Structure 1
Amino acid sequence: MKILKISALIIGILIVLLFGGFWIWSEMTYEASEELSSLVSEEDIIREDGVRFLPESPNGTGVIIYPGARVEPEAYSYIGASLADEGYTVLIPEVRFNLAFFNIGKADSLVGEFDEMDTWVIGGHSLGGVAAASYAYDSEVDGVFFLASYPQGSNDFSGSSLPMLSIYGDRDGLTTLEDIDDTSTLLSAEAVFHKIEGGNHAQFGVYGEQSGDMDATISLLEQQNDIVAAMLKWLDEKVK
């Protein structure tokens, strides 16, 4: 009996240590870089459950962006502000442990806050896109977009007519061209693919360099503007 108690105590301590280590790692986030302040006005950023960008004249379409793993929501502010300038309501939420996969259903509460919206699209960067696809697979949305991302194998949209957009860079060291090609059959028949020549993984946000990534051959602003243009074209032609 004494051995069992000691074993249980040791197991309990190991669990606490493992969770503690995981929590510390999850809090070591990629924050928005100083460059963001020159791209987005502080007055345009609404800090509420992440960041939000509310247009002066809403067009009835809401855009939810799940952040990449351990990336702060604010890092996607340029994309959010640019879409809001065109009438889109953009919500970039905080997620549990800074990993969207632990908070896949986060979109439910956001949609509930804005019941005046007629249309909702959801997507995300990297792991955030994987989580967004999982949400969309079991929920009613009007479109899904992937920013250097793709759905996991269990989320097969190939038999669906759901509007989808995949934006990826040819200098991405984390979501590679091979990854995009290998998972392309999981996307719907309506999927649009947009390659950013010279774009890498980290420049899908504004948070600096990321370990394992390649160097981009275009500027941050060029890549961000390419992302925004591709999203606006897709939203206008395929979703609205």
Structure 2
Amino acid sequence: MKKILKYSLVTIGILLVAALGGFYVWTQQTYEPSGKLKELVGKVEPEDGWVIYEPKESAKAGIVLYPGAKVEPEAYGYLAQQLSEKGYVVGIPHVPLNLAFTGVGKAEEVMKRYPSVKKWYVGGHSLGGVAAASFAHDNLDEIAGLFFLGSYPSGGDDFSKVNLPVLSIYAENDGLTSHKDIEKSKSLLPDDAVFYEIKGGNHAQFGMYGPQKGDNKAELPVKKQQDQIVDALVSWAKP
């Protein structure tokens, strides 16, 4: 009996190690910046665990963008560059295991790095939006607004009774965050939340990293989708 128990425990241990190892390998199979991003932006250089873009003059406000699951922060370099040219300091964090929920508190780092910036908007793409919502829910006094890119909050983060500006940008051809998901999320957001649909856009083009498994094909070029995102964010995120 003792031998059977011993062998069972050893077997369970081996299976657990194998499962953890497989999960780790999966998290390292990331979506890298596309050739189009490199063409538009050049090489994106991370700094102390962040991709940072600063405006040429003093920042109007700050934006923290949590990346989607297994998407490298550099893949949002074009968005960050364009927003910085509009006067915002933009920070995109590297997160443990390339999964934003492992680094929910990262926004605090960049906020402390720029103490002169008094207004911060926090948001994210896909799973990054879930992480951003979690941060926002626990730090309402520190942020000026919350935004989602093909994303929505988890059921535990209810903003329906909160006085907080919220923007949800979603795409018509998104194969991972459906229109049904967006509709359901409305019950968790304030009544005055702003919803903006990108016609012909898809999930992967909220970044620039090429096609994504499970997504639908976009009907507009990635740069056009990204430019619409920038315009919608700038119109909403008032300095």
What is aligned with 2:176?
174
- Counterpart CA distance in 2 for 1:219 and 1:108 is 34
What is aligned with 2:134?
134
Matched, 1:190 2:189: no
- Counterpart CA distance in 1 for 2:50 and 2:158 is 29
What is aligned with 1:39?
40
CA contact (8 A) 1:122 1:144 kept: yes
What is aligned with 2:66?
66
What is aligned with 2:28?
27
What is aligned with 1:103?
103
Shift of 1:60: 4.2
Equivalent pairs: percent with the same residue? 49
- Counterpart CA distance in 1 for 2:84 and 2:55 is 5
CA contact (8 A) 1:129 1:151 kept: yes
What is aligned with 1:16?
17
What is aligned with 1:151?
153
What is aligned with 1:212?
214
Counterpart amino acid of 2:123?
A: G
Counterpart amino acid of 2:122?
A: I
Matched, 1:83 2:83: yes
Shift of 1:18: 0.8
Shift of 1:101: 1.2
Counterpart amino acid of 1:147?
A: L
- Counterpart CA distance in 2 for 1:126 and 1:225 is 18
Counterpart amino acid of 1:119?
A: K
Shift of 1:46: 4.0
User: Residue 188 of structure 1: SS of its match in structure 2?
Assistant: coil
User: Residue 166 of structure 1: SS of its match in structure 2?
Assistant: strand
Q: Which runs of 5+ in 2 are unaligned?
A: none
Q: Which runs of 5+ in 1 are unaligned?
A: none
Which deviates further from its counterpart, 53-62 or 200-209? 53-62
- Counterpart CA distance in 2 for 1:202 and 1:224 is 11
User: Residue 146 of structure 1: SS of its match in structure 2?
Assistant: strand
User: Residue 144 of structure 1: SS of its match in structure 2?
Assistant: strand
Which deviates further from its counterpart, 143-152 or 1-10? 1-10
Query: In structure 2, do the counterparts of structure 1 residues 59 and 113 end up closer, same or farther at CA, with 3 Å as the change threshold?
Result: closer
Shift of 1:58: 2.6
Shift of 1:4: 3.6
- Counterpart CA distance in 1 for 2:99 and 2:35 is 23
- Counterpart CA distance in 1 for 2:71 and 2:42 is 20
User: Residue 230 of structure 1: SS of its match in structure 2?
Assistant: helix
TM-score by length of 1: 0.94
Counterpart amino acid of 1:92?
A: I
CA deviation vs aligned residue, 1:74-122 (integer Å, no higher than 9, x gap): 1111100000011111000111111101221121222222222101111
CA deviation vs aligned residue, 1:194-216 (integer Å, no higher than 9, x gap): 00111110111100001111111
Alpha-carbon RMSD across the aligned residues, in angstroms, is: 1.3
User: Residue 117 of structure 2: SS of its match in structure 1?
Assistant: coil
Which deviates further from its counterpart, 15-24 or 52-61? 52-61
- Counterpart CA distance in 2 for 1:179 and 1:206 is 23
CA contact (8 A) 1:36 1:206 kept: yes
Shift of 1:50: 3.2
CA contact (8 A) 1:50 1:74 kept: no
- Counterpart CA distance in 2 for 1:70 and 1:58 is 32
CA deviation vs aligned residue, 1:126-169 (integer Å, no higher than 9, x gap): 01001110110111311100000001111110101201100001
